[in-house]
Copies of this chain bind each other. A is one copy, B any other.
Amino acid sequence: MKNMEQLFPGVARLAFGTPESDTPSKQVYVRAPRGEALAALPAAAAPFDAGQIRFSVSTRGCRLELPLSPGEDIYGFGLNLKRLRHTGRKRTLRVNSDPAVDTGDSHAPCPLYFSTAGYGVLVDTARYATFYCGGNELLNARKQTDEAGGIRLTEAELYAGKEGVSAPMVVDIPAAQGVEIYLFSGPALLDAVRRYVLFCGGGAFPPEWGLGCQYRACGAFEAGEALSLAAELREKHIPCDVFGLEPGWQSHAYSCTFSWSPERFPEPEALVNRLREQHFRINLWEHAFTHPDAPFYEELRPYSGDFKVWNGLVPDFTLAPARETFRRHHAERLTRRGIDAFKLDECDNSDFISSPWSFPECSRFPSGHDGETMHSMFGTHYMNVVDGACRDAGVRTYGLVRNAHAFAPPQPFVLYSDLYDHAEFIRGVTTSGFSGLLWTPEFRHAASPEDYIRRLQTMVLSPLMLLNIWMMPNPPWRQLVRERNVRNEFYPPEEQAHLEVLTRETLQLRMRFLPYLYAAFAAYRFEGTPPFRALAMDYPEDERLRDVDFAWLAGERLLVAPFRAGMTELVLPLPPGVWRDFHTGERHEAEVRLAPAIGELPILVKENSVIPLADPVEYIEDGMQHRLTLRVYGSAPEPARLFADDGFSFGYENEAPAWGEVRADGSMSESAKRRYAVKAVERF
């Protein structure tokens, strides 16, 4: 074992054995750490000494044992739809598009955990590592426990996990004969998370329009149908910044040609111009599997894996020629011709249940990577390449992706899923933040109007407001049932109108929070604070909050608890201090009993906050000025932070952070005035 290498304040690296060459830290997508911001965090000692970590190798891989103490709780491991708190569990980090059971399988697993004791550990491996989070005792451990006691008469009794930690964190890394780990100190849990994000280069910083609303149109549309729907959105004043086209825009999919369909989209330039004139940004669906008809197929073929996926090539993005081929095509044909974003589908892996559509873990790539490490890193490589094509065209993008891993925080993409359980979608927001990942609890279809509205509300204070209507030709407010929507069988006019109003109002609420959210993302970028966080991340000492996977903190001052269809009431434990009802100003401490009307999203505000709300616009215009109404809660309100770059360019990467603030009296820092004006102040 080597000594601990201090990389930055509170960030240390340790090497064990002979690490592999194809690990996340060694990929081209890794960004420079934000050293200054790391140095600005409060000082903290390393969580443990190198001597407290045991390491060993065998023919099947290597093993780490890291200290855990009673009372510690463990979070992280990437996006997790099944569980927030992992203490005592076994997590195997397989990339899987359909994680049906609570085992660690995920679209976006990440070999990274954080402890309520205030530190984090990144294991730098792209292997499907297994983490035993304190549930398995070593034979030679000092402590002897014996909890056998009475005879048990149900399986639940027999196999009950022990609460809490009684053993070390054991990490089982296949294949590798060594590994490097990174330790992130606190002192607080949130500081440790910040250090990870900053070490990765800071969080993603979307353009303002990216935080607006996105509508993805039916996959079977032709150009005329797409334009007609876009016109309807504008006509009905449904807020929409991004218009998404699904596979049908391509001449062939699955797999992809990355080329417009001459049948369905014969005049792409005209289509793009028409949409842009109406202030839509365009997001195009694709996956990386490259069809023989793609113009760069032959060029890419030597830099592809040895298995086909849907008869397409699997690009080896670890090789410069594959990246360059992809980037050039996207830049020349798409981003320089008016396309601003992409939805990167199926870059995760086949679930292990239905057909094995993706490439096997035992695939070989010309770079020497295998399918297992490639699956872990495929999404992040893919984001990096597509982001490069956007940058080529000067486009600050904000796209969609179905896989991510370590070092992904700076990538401007939001995870999504084909899974669709509402409680899991909510949980995903609370879990992904621990790994610096963004997740959208998108809307796709609903079992009822109530389900529809509740799912829309869930997105208001989330990374992305996404109406993903790829399965239906007509807007959901006209008919939620797909089979009827496809046949143009609509609700009665008054019901359509009612749902349309609820839709517009919910999307407008999103648009009102846009300045607040934009500042939260700036804090993500410059300070490492995830914009959406489990309550346990900010308040790890409060044991009542450690399993709260149905509410989250949004930005600095808000707490949101989305309701699901069928819920009538929720008793939510509150973090310390006074919290105010966003809508009524009512004061709550310790807990709050929520019973919102169907059209209402429960939001709580930290006492003494100024919450800036914008006049809701239908779309963002570059550099536009936002007219703010301030909501002031409490008698000693702290100013609200605002971020006032131009909102769309890469200027923020080189300039000093354009922080500003607005105060409860409506006054504003000079810097903020560039983009914001106060219209009214409302006191609660």
Residue among A102, A130, A301, A357 with most chain B CB within 10 A = A357
Contact between B60 and A138 (Cβ–Cβ < 8 Å)?
no
* Residue of B whose beta carbon sits closest to that of A264: B151
Residue A403 lies at the interface, judged by CB distance under 8 Å to chain B: no
A475 to chain B, nearest CB (A): 16
The B-contacting residues of A in range 541-598, CB under 8 angstroms, are none
A352-B90, A353-B101 given; A306·B138 CB < 8 A: yes
Residue A8 lies at the interface, judged by CB distance under 8 Å to chain B: no
Size category of the binding interface on chain A: 35 or more
Residue A40 lies at the interface, judged by CB distance under 8 Å to chain B: no
The B-contacting residues of A in range 88-107, CB under 8 angstroms, are 88-90, 92, 100-104
A90-B352, A357-B159 given; A362·B310 CB < 8 A: no
The main secondary structure of chain A at its interface with chain B is loop
Q: Which residues of B are found within 8 Å of A291, using beta-carbon distances?
A: 148
Q: Which residues of B are found within 8 Å of A154, using beta-carbon distances?
A: 471
Q: Which residues of B are found within 8 Å of A360, using beta-carbon distances?
A: 90, 130, 132, 136, 170, 172
Residue among A140, A301, A311 with most chain B CB within 10 A = A311
* Residue of B whose beta carbon sits closest to that of A103: B352
Contact of A135 among B88, B148, B170, B356 (CB under 8 A): B356
Q: Which of A42-50, A246-254, A599-607 contacts B (4 or more CB under 8 A)?
A: A246-254
Q: Which residues of B are found within 8 Å of A58, using beta-carbon distances?
A: 362, 364, 370
Contact between B355 and A307 (Cβ–Cβ < 8 Å)?
no
A420 to chain B, nearest CB (A): 9
Contact between B161 and A254 (Cβ–Cβ < 8 Å)?
no
Contact of A148 among B158, B162, B254 (CB under 8 A): B254
Docked Cα-Cα span, A438 to B518, in Å, equals 62
Contact between B102 and A101 (Cβ–Cβ < 8 Å)?
no
Q: Which residues of B are found within 8 Å of A292, using beta-carbon distances?
A: 144, 146
Chain B proximity mask over A385-416: 1 for CB below 8 Å, otherwise 0: 00000000000000000000000000000000
Residue A71 lies at the interface, judged by CB distance under 8 Å to chain B: no
* Residue of B whose beta carbon sits closest to that of A22: B59
Residue A234 lies at the interface, judged by CB distance under 8 Å to chain B: no
Q: Which residues of B are found within 8 Å of A152, using beta-carbon distances?
A: 219
Residue A174 lies at the interface, judged by CB distance under 8 Å to chain B: yes
Chain B proximity mask over A19-35: 1 for CB below 8 Å, otherwise 0: 01000000000000000
Q: Which residues of B are found within 8 Å of A174, using beta-carbon distances?
A: 60, 174-175
Residue A229 lies at the interface, judged by CB distance under 8 Å to chain B: no
Q: Which residues of B are found within 8 Å of A127, using beta-carbon distances?
A: 60
Contact between B145 and A311 (Cβ–Cβ < 8 Å)?
yes
Contact of A362 among B61, B158, B418 (CB under 8 A): B61
Residue A216 lies at the interface, judged by CB distance under 8 Å to chain B: no
Contact between B355 and A308 (Cβ–Cβ < 8 Å)?
no
A138 to chain B, nearest CB (A): 6
Contact between B311 and A146 (Cβ–Cβ < 8 Å)?
yes
Q: Which residues of B are found within 8 Å of A92, using beta-carbon distances?
A: 352
- 26 inter-chain pairs at a CB distance below 8 angstroms, sorted by A residue, are A58-B364, A59-B370, A60-B175, A60-B361, A60-B370, A63-B362, A90-B360, A101-B352, A104-B352, A130-B361, A136-B307, A136-B356, A137-B311, A139-B313, A140-B306, A144-B311, A146-B292, A148-B291, A151-B219, A151-B253, A153-B219, A153-B220, A153-B471, A159-B355, A161-B355, A170-B360
Those 5 A-B pairs whose CB atoms lie nearest each other, nearest first: A161-B355, A172-B362, A90-B356, A60-B175, A103-B352
Extra pairs beyond A139-B307, A145-B311, A146-B311 (9, CB < 8 Å): A90-B350, A90-B356, A92-B352, A102-B353, A130-B361, A137-B307, A155-B418, A170-B362, A172-B362
